[in-house]
């Protein structure tokens, strides 16, 4: 009986090693951001929890927008370098084995690597071409007036109060953490403009490698 157990163990080990060789490294899913676009959007309802994607509709520039339902959505164009390889956090392998008394068979699958980037955001500033309020004249940094509700590939940090309730980071707080870049970022306006109702927003965006993008919205008119 001991010899039988030892034989099965050796066979199991041999199959495991062989599987690793056959599986190899999974295709790399590391992407590089090549362009950024910003879209003014509105929403009708927010998810119960921060960090879930908000269903939005692009702003109709012919109509005035309710500031309480206004967001800026950043979308990134990306490119993947197919010559690189990277293993997933579990070393790229996920094996399952099935056994029977008559025959030992193996079934395995290589775990796909979720898309990711190692680029980090070092600057992401929002400004407007018009006075937003007495405290925020034209050209002022408006990061404190936007909350980060969703990131496509990064867990969105939140504040937790004594009751356990979670509240969103402002964009200013979020950028201060030097987060990984993301393919989608949703930013909710938390204060309506007080001075002028017509605004064109500009985003200045930079990565830790020095790559920089500047994009602007069309003209947005608030109610």
Using CA atoms of 18, 83, 94, 120 in order, give the dihedral in degrees to the nearest 10: 150
Q: What is the pLDDT of residue 66?
A: 97
For 47, other C-beta atoms within 10 Å of its C-beta total 13
Rounded Cα gap, residues 119 and 182, in angstroms: 9
Q: What is the pLDDT of residue 124?
A: 98
Q: What is the pLDDT of residue 113?
A: 60
Rounded Cα gap, residues 165 and 174, in angstroms: 18
All domains in the chain, ordered by first residue: 2-28+89-109 (no CATH), 32-81+116-221 (2.60.40)
Give the bridge partners for 150, in sequence order: 186
Q: What is the pLDDT of residue 96?
A: 36
Rounded Cα gap, residues 171 and 168, in angstroms: 9
Q: From the DSSP assignment, how many helices (H) and strands (E) are in the chain?
A: 2, 14
Q: pLDDT for 19-64, tens place per residue?
A: 444 445 445 578 889 999 999 999 999 999 999 999 999 999 889 9
CB 61 within 8 A of CB 220: yes
Q: What is the pLDDT of residue 29?
A: 76
Q: What is the pLDDT of residue 105?
A: 42
Per-residue burial over 135-150, b = 16 or more CB atoms within 10 Å of its CB, e = otherwise: ebeeebebbbbbbbbb
Q: What is the pLDDT of residue 30?
A: 83
CB 220 within 8 A of CB 67: no
Rounded Cα gap, residues 179 and 164, in angstroms: 24
Residues in the chain with pLDDT values less than 70: 1-28, 81-114
Q: What is the pLDDT of residue 153?
A: 79
């Amino acid at each position: 009986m001991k010899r039988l157990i030892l034989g099965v163990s050796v066979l199991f080990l041999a199959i495991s090693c062989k599987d690793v060789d056959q599986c190899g490294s999974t295709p790399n899913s590391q992407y590089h951001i090549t362009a950024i676009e910003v879209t003014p959007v509105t929403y009708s309802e927010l998810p119960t929890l921060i960090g879930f994607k908000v269903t939005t509709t692009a702003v109709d520039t012919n109509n005035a927008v309710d500031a309480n339902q206004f967001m800026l959505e950043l979308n990134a164009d990306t490119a993947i370098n197919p010559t690189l390889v990277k293993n997933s956090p579990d070393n790229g392998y996920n094996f399952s084995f099935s056994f029977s008394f008559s025959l030992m068979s193996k079934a395995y699958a290589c775990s796909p690597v979720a898309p990711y980037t190692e680029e980090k955001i070092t600057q992401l500033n929002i400004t407007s071409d018009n006075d937003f309020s007495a405290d925020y004249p034209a050209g002022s940094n408006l990061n404190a007036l936007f909350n980060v509700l969703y990131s496509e590939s990064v867990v969105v940090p939140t504040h937790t109060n004594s009751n356990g309730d979670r509240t969103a980071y402002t964009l200013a707080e979020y950028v201060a953490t030097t987060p990984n870049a993301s393919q989608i970022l949703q930013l909710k306006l938390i204060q309506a403009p007080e001075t002028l109702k017509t605004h064109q927003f500009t985003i200045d965006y930079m990565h830790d490698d020095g790559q920089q993008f500047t994009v602007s919205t069309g003209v947005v008119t608030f109610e």
